[in-house]
Amino acid sequence: MNHNKNQHASTLRTRGESARVLNEELFFDLVYAFSVTQLSHYLLDHLTLLGALQTLVMWFAVWLGWQYTAWATNWFNPGALRIRGMLFGIMLLALVMASALPGAFAERGLVFALCFAGIQVGRTFCMLVAVGRDHALAPNFRRLLAWNCVAAVFWIGGGFAEGQTRLLLWFGGVLCEYIAPMIGLRFPGLGRSSTAEWTIDGGHLAERCQLFVIVALGESVLATGIAFGHHAEWHAVDLFALLVSFAGSLAMWWMYFDTSAKEATHVIEHSSDPGGVGAKFHYTHVILVAGIIVSAVADELVIGEGSHHAQWKYLGPLLGGPALYLFGNALFKRVVRGFLPQSHLYGLGLLAVLAVFASHLSVLVVGTLTTVVMIAVATLEAVVRRRAWAAQATEASSKPHPH
């Protein structure tokens, strides 16, 4: 009995000090850099409404696989041998799943579905075995495993189906895994969980989200560099397109890391319900990161198709990427600060105005205007936040100090 307790203690992270992101987790994220690249390329090759819906459901699968693993490594120590083995097993399945992604709605649908179901069910089963039946977290993991199994039926069923039936079944699987935490993982015969029971290290979870944002922004920079490198000759207009794309990525980085990342870490670390805040982090980041992925497609279009007329199929990523990012970032900052930043609402309004006449412009001009909007939003927010910080500092220094 004591041996089992010691084994569980070494497998679980200790809550006496802040949990650090370990090398195992950074190595694990590499496969998701590949997944993000595959998603952006799939969308670029399928610029239709159906292609967008297919990309969306696959993005949900990629994000769910990463998100649930981030929670697992928050509870469990990735340096422990059995957890390291679980992490690398998930990594291998995620690599095969990402490789199957271009054919997920064709001949490799079952492979994609089996890999995803294997990741979700296998991880939770390993977590349940690792804590043992009597641990306080065990009932939570049993409910999670039950929902993972229900979702797996939809995914594997979709793998055997074809066309729109596959898409509908996979969306059903996504809904299972997204709605379940919202209702406390309530499951017949197993009860329900409270977010207060999701004992997590808030700083670790915030850092994991920030690292995934970096992974996604890396794809945006990578897409820009590859598209630029494909030009046989570099003319002034090509260099301008490169500058536009890079400036857009920089504005996205600035909006997230300059004004909100540290605040987010502080909020979740000092929350009375870090599990509840952590769940909101993941619900907002799925939108925010989707915006970065779609913007990477827009960057490739700006550099590769800049002189072409902005057809409707191009306007989806050109306007949709920045709009998704601003919307997701605004929701994230509402979780952090308790209110929606006006700068982001202004930006969404400007993008809506641009959408009215964008079809009369070239791809490069539309891309340039959306980048100007993103830079304006980042600048406005930075100025407002710095003034607020300065006012707080002045107010704090003016208060009499107790002797």
- Summarize pLDDT for 317-331 with one digit per residue, the tens: 999 999 999 999 999
pLDDT tens-digit readout, 254-303: 999 886 667 777 777 677 677 777 778 888 999 999 999 999 999 999 99
**CATH dotted code for 202-388:** 1.20.1410
Contact status, residue 18 vs residue 204, Cβ threshold 8 Å:
yes
Report the C-alpha gap between 403 and 393 in whole angstroms: 20
Q: What mean pLDDT value characterizes the chain?
A: 87
Residues 6+ apart with CB under 8 A from 375: 247, 251
Rounded to the nearest angstrom, the gap between the alpha carbon of residue 326 and the centroid of all alpha carbons in its chain is 14
CA neighbours closer than 13 Å in the CB half-sphere of residue 221? 12
The string of DSSP letters for 242-309 reads HHHHHHHHHHHHIIIIITTHHHHHHHHHT-S-HHHHHHHHHHHHHHHHHHHHHHHHHHHHHHHSTTSB
| pLDDT confidence of residue 5 | 47
CATH 1.20.1410 domain range(s) in the chain: 202-388
| pLDDT confidence of residue 348 | 96
Residues of the chain short of pLDDT 70, as ranges, are: 1-10, 15-19, 195-199, 259-261, 269, 272, 389, 392-393, 395-403
Report the C-alpha gap between 118 and 225 in whole angstroms: 35
Distances in Å between the Cα of 151 and the Cα atoms of 59, 109, 116 are: 16, 16, 10
| pLDDT confidence of residue 398 | 64
Amino acid (1-letter code) at residue 400: P
| pLDDT confidence of residue 132 | 80
Tokens 């870490």 label which residue? Answer: 265
- Two tokens, residue 262: 């540290």
Tokens 């935490």 label which residue? Answer: 181
pLDDT tens-digit readout, 54-98: 999 999 999 999 999 988 888 888 888 888 999 999 999 999 999
Report the C-alpha gap between 300 and 384 in whole angstroms: 32
Contact status, residue 94 vs residue 40, Cβ threshold 8 Å:
no
| pLDDT confidence of residue 386 | 78
| pLDDT confidence of residue 10 | 63
Report the C-alpha gap between 117 and 222 in whole angstroms: 30
Q: List 191's β-bridge partners, or say none.
A: 187
* Helical (H) or strand (E) element with 137: none
- Cα angle 123, 291, 380; round to 5: 125
Report the C-alpha gap between 151 and 145 in whole angstroms: 10
- The answer to whether the Cα torsion of 39, 45, 49, 51 is positive or negative is negative
| pLDDT confidence of residue 399 | 65
| pLDDT confidence of residue 199 | 66
| pLDDT confidence of residue 383 | 86
Contact status, residue 116 vs residue 97, Cβ threshold 8 Å:
yes
